[in-house]
Amino acid sequence: MPETIVQIRDLTFRYHPGETPVFDDFSWTVAAGERWTIIGPSGGGKTTLLYLLSGLQQPEAGQVRVAGAPVPRPRASTGLILQNHGLLPWATVRQNATLGLRMGRFYRNKQGPPGQPRPYPPALPLSEVDAWLDRLGVAHLGDKYPSQLSGGQQQRVAIARTLALRPNLLLMDEPFSALDAVIREDLQDLVLSLQRELGITTILVTHSVQEAAILGGRILALGQPPNRVADVVENPQSGAPDFRDSTAYLAIARRLRRKLK
């Protein structure tokens, strides 16, 4: 059986004392290599769950473990891709894409807290980034600045920067929501291709029923807080050729719409 990479047990989380918890005694597991999407209403905890997995938020009670260890802080082997790309406006494409690896070189001799995952990026050769920029079709833009790129190009740079760090868990928070339909579908297909190629565990948050169905081999449907049960929709045909035109896709989309209502 595949190893478990994400294990959440009896999670309780709320932003402020006394308010309704976003998660209340909530449990969920993700096996290595799986491809998940998370969908639900605004305020339902989708982004919060990613932040808990990435170490940017901490639970009030319960456990959040990634690769068998607690996550008291961000870990080097978790990649996080945001909607706004997170590119430095004053840095070129190549400077942005190599940022993590350059930080890894700076911290190469620094040790993390005992018994905790190393939080510092790996000290890998910068050629790792060049290979990914080329693979993602933006190597020719290396000397450009983010303001000179389209939204789709910026997101490809952000993906290259993340994959160059060799993560074993990739978290994406509505990464394509600001893009037009054609570019969005192109990047969805890219994510599916990369996931097959690398076998990396992916968890993507989206408001789009269509995107959840296209990208999620398994789909976590959250509701209005408090979330107590992991409502999982199995979607085994996701990623198959012509899935967008299949009756299986339409059936999953209808099922998700009913859950959201």
**C-alpha to C-alpha distance for 46 and 207, rounded to whole angstroms:** 9
Q: How is 63-115 classified by DSSP, letter by letter?
A: EEEETTEE-SS--TTEEEE-TTTT--TTS-HHHHHTHHHHHHHHTTT----TT
Range(s) for CATH 3.40.50.300 in the chain?
1-77+170-261
User: Residue 227 carries which DSSP code?
Assistant: B
Written as six digits, the tokens of 50 are 């990613």
CATH of domain 1-77+170-261: 3.40.50.300
- 114 to each of 68, 77, 117, 168, how far by Cα in Å? 15, 17, 8, 21
Question: Is beta strand 35-39 parallel, antiparallel or unpaired with respect to 218-221?
Answer: parallel
**pTM for this model (two decimals):** 0.92
User: Do the beta carbons of residue 36 and residue 10 sit within 8 Å?
Assistant: no
pLDDT confidence of residue 101 = 85
pLDDT confidence of residue 171 = 97
Q: What is the pLDDT along the chain (261 residues), one digit of tens a residue?
A: 679 999 999 999 999 888 999 999 999 999 999 999 999 999 999 999 999 999 999 999 999 999 999 998 888 899 999 887 789 999 999 999 999 888 766 666 666 666 666 666 677 788 889 999 999 999 999 999 999 999 999 999 999 999 999 999 999 999 988 788 888 999 999 999 999 999 999 999 999 999 999 999 999 999 999 999 999 999 999 989 899 999 999 999 999 999 888
User: Do the beta carbons of residue 238 and residue 207 sit within 8 Å?
Assistant: no
**C-alpha to C-alpha distance for 105 and 196, rounded to whole angstroms:** 29
